[in-house]
Structure 1
């Protein structure tokens, strides 16, 4: 154990989190679970609660919507398996922090968001080597859908696509989940 990065991607409800949890359950060491979702409405609160109930109680769970790398470093996860679930919500949280008006984001806000998210992704991808940990990052593949009709939606789709590419490029392993079935698309 120690020093690997795996990206787990796929569509909504494709089994990504279930797969990541199964990987955690197979781990012989400590598991640290970083949850990035925020309960903005009743449906999201139910989803978060469902995810909580699916995780083993002995795992360390940190609910952190923005400062993932700091949270991981603070958990002293040397030689642990760290699961980040998910990059999708994390990028949304970071992006929304940059917008004064979500319905009409300004070009400079988009450029700052792009810069800051790239920096955060680079920091996250450096953690396995820095802390000798195995890192599983769960994300959604959003590039196969239609072009969003609103500027903020297009910016989000584009930035998440870029974030996914950066993590995939740095990853030792990339797994695509389709209908609950894992397809390894990059192997060490």
Structure 2
């Protein structure tokens, strides 16, 4: 099972995604992409830590996500990745176009080939107004393109708003 969970900030997507991966009955690895650059982000990271089971394995990787998923690729493994938009932000902030493209392509290949249960969390950022600056527009474009690509590679896609999951795709 490969499941993409989309939603806005504080939409309930993380809690929903955690429930989805927990029912697999397999050992769970939580792959976190966040980097805490300020106090607010540190609080958000801490809240995520408190809201997930202590027995889940944790891997923190802000950039080389494909490498991590390759190392976890097993039919006996359940993995949750939180979150793709933070991962894209980390890559965009490197200002290295070649690395960005390499990481995106490698990630899509490993998602397609992944054999275990995989729950991918990503923010939907395209529902608001057009961002005013170049970097914000680029981020929205990259996130939208990545979400579309991931949706094609997963058998389930769910949009979460106000804590309510709305199935967009359910292929079993």
| TM-score, with structure 2 as normaliser | 0.92
- Determine the structure 2 residue equivalent to 1:19: 16
Residue 125 of structure 1 is matched in structure 2 by 111
Structure 2 residues not aligned, in runs of 5+: none
CA apart distance, 1:177: 0.3
Q: Indicate conservation of the 8 Å contact 1:8/1:136, yes or no.
A: yes
**1:183 alignment partner, one of 162, 166, 169:** 166
**Of 43, 51, 71, which residue of structure 1 is paired with 2:68?**
71
Q: Which runs of 5+ in 1 are unaligned?
A: 100-108
The number of equivalent residue pairs is 171
The 3 A distance-change label for structure 1 pair 179 and 134 is same
What is the aligned partner in structure 2 of residue 81 from structure 1?
78
Q: Is the 8 A contact 1:36 1:86 kept in 2?
A: yes
Per the TM alignment, residue 126 of structure 1 is displaced from its structure 2 partner at its CA by: 2.3
Alignment of 1:162-177 (within 5 A): 162-177=145-160
What is the TM-score normalised by the length of structure 1? 0.84
Out of 112-121 and 20-29, give the one that drifted further. Answer: 112-121
Superposition RMSD in Å: 1.7
Query: What is the distance in 2 between the residues matched to 1:146 and 1:113?
Result: 29
